[in-house]
Amino acid sequence: MQQPIIRGLHAVVLFVKDLEKQKRFYRDVLGLEVTYESDQSAFLKCGEQMIALFTHENHPEGARRLEGAVKGISHLEFRIKRSDKEYWLQKLRDAGYHAYKDNF
């Protein structure tokens, strides 16, 4: 019997301090679709994957991760067409965000 393989990434879970601000960024700036939301979470479709945003209130793991610990995800990278690079750089800048052009 062949060992089952991991077929891809299903979701990235991020603990955030300001759910509304993060939801606006992923929805309004990056154009991701919100598929579910509540007072303490939001799930956004990103290709075939999901980005799940959770507030740290009432969530012990999230609270610990937001207390200045160095653990967790440092950044996310999204796959785009090379020909769309300038569009996304400008869209992020227009929305007040910084993107490192050399790494983009």
Q: With the C-alpha atoms ordered 35, 55, 27, 30, is the resulting torsion angle positive or negative?
A: negative
Distance CA(76)–CA(93), nearest Å, equals 17
Distance CA(91)–CA(98), nearest Å, equals 10
Class of domain 11-73: alpha beta
pLDDT reported for residue 104: 56
Amino acid code (one letter) for 89: L
Instruction: Say which residue the tokens 């990434």 belong to.
Output: 9
The residues spanned by each domain of the chain are 11-73, 75-104
Largest distance between two CA atoms of the chain: 53
pLDDT digits (tens, 9 = 90+) for 29-73: 999 999 999 999 999 999 999 999 988 765 555 555 556 544 456
pLDDT reported for residue 27: 97
